[in-house]
Amino acid sequence: MNLTVSMIQFDILFGSPKENYVKVKELINKAMKSNPDVIMLPELWTTGYDLTRLDEIADYKGETTISFIGSLAKQYRVTIVAGSIAKKESDKEIYNTMFVFNPNGKVVHQYSKVHLFRLMNEEKYLLAGNEKGSFAIGNVPSAGLICYDIRFPEWVRVHTINNGAKLLFVTAEWPKPRIDHWRNLLISRAIENQCYVLACNRVGKDPDNEFGGNSLVIDPWGQVLAEGSTEEAIITTTIDTNLVDEIRKRIPIFEDRRVDLY
C-alpha cells in the first residue's frame, strides 16, 4: 500500500496557543496541495515548552484541539497525526498527549508520553502516560512515540513485536545540539525494527533551547528517504508499506530472537 505523508516542521510560538492554531491551519492548507494521506505535526505544538504557564494554557481534555484538528481532518478527508499537545485533565494534572484523527475527523488514538525528559524539567510540570502508542492507519499497524521515548528501544519493540507496528510516528521538540543523536537513534530504530520511521521535529528557538528540525522519513532498510533542514518546511514523501514485509522476510529477526534467553 502506498501512503503519502506530509510532515510539517515549523517554529512554534512560545506559550501562544491561539497564534499556533492560526499558523497550523495555514500550514495544513498548504500541505494539502500535495494531496497527502497523512499529515504530521511536532511535539507540544500549541504551547511549546512554556511549562511554567501550562496550568493556564494547556488544552482542557484536548477539547479545543479535538474540534479544531478534527474539522480540518474532515474537511480535507485526511489522517492527521497531530503531534502532541499539553492536555489538562484537572488542576495540576497535565499530560504531553498525541492525538490521531481519521479522515472523518474522529480521534482514533491518544497517547501520552511515557518517558518524561528531566533535562527539560518535564517531570516537574507533566505527568507520564501509562498506555501504549499502538493504532492503525487503514489496516497498517502503527505506533506513536514522543521525542525522548526513542531513547528506549525496549519501549519501541513492544509496539513492533507485540502489536506488529510497521510505521512509527515520532513527534518531537529535539534540541539542535543533540541532532546527531536524533538522526542515529531514529535510523537504528528503523533498522532494528524493520519498519518505517516518520519523525517530525520543530525548528526555531524558545527562551532556553534551539531546535534542530531535521524531520526524517526512514525506510525499513534504514535508508533516509527525506530529510528537513533547520528551516520551516513541509516534507512530503510516498512510502510503500509492503517493503516492511519484504525486509522482515529477507532477514527474519523477529523469528530469530532467542526468547529462551531474553
Ligand X SMILES: O=C(O)CCC(=O)C(=O)O
Footprint on this chain of ligand X (rule: CB under 6 A): 117, 120, 147-148, 151, 173-175, 178, 181
Minimum distance from residue 150 beta carbon to ligand X (Å): 8
- Nearest approach in angstroms of CB 139 to ligand X is 30
3 state SS of 37: coil
CA-based nearest residue to 52, from 104, 113, 125: 125
Cα–Cα nearest to 69, from 6, 13, 20: 20
CB of 16 to ligand X, least distance (A): 19
Residue 43 is a catalytic residue:
yes
Residue (117 or 135) nearer to ligand X, CB: 117
Rounded Cα distance between 88 and 163, Å, is 28
Q: Is 166 a catalytic residue?
A: no
CB of 171 to ligand X, least distance (A): 10
Q: Which is nearer to ligand X, 36 or 175 (CB)?
A: 175
Q: Is the Cβ of residue 119 or residue 259 nearer to ligand X in the bound state?
A: 119
- Half-sphere exposure for 128 (CA within 13 Å, toward CB): 11
* Nearest one of 70, 98, 95, 73 to 83, comparing CA atoms: 98
Residue 21 phi, psi dihedral angles, 5° rounding: -60, -45
Q: Of 147, 173, 195, 200, which one is the catalytic site residue?
A: 147
* 15-46: burial string, b at 16+ Cβ within 10 Å, e else: bbbeebeebbeebbeebbeeebbbbbbbbbbb
Q: Choose among 122, 201, 184, 167: nearest CA to 2.
A: 167
* Per-state percent for the chain, helix, strand, coil, to nearest 5: 35, 35, 30
Instruction: Please pick, among 87, 88, 113, 166, the residue that the annotation labels catalytic.
Output: 113
β-bridge partners, 59: 87
Clarify whether 227 is annotated catalytic: no
Taking the complex as a whole, the smallest distance from the CB of residue 143 to ligand X amounts, in Å, to 16
What residues are annotated to the active site? 43, 113, 147
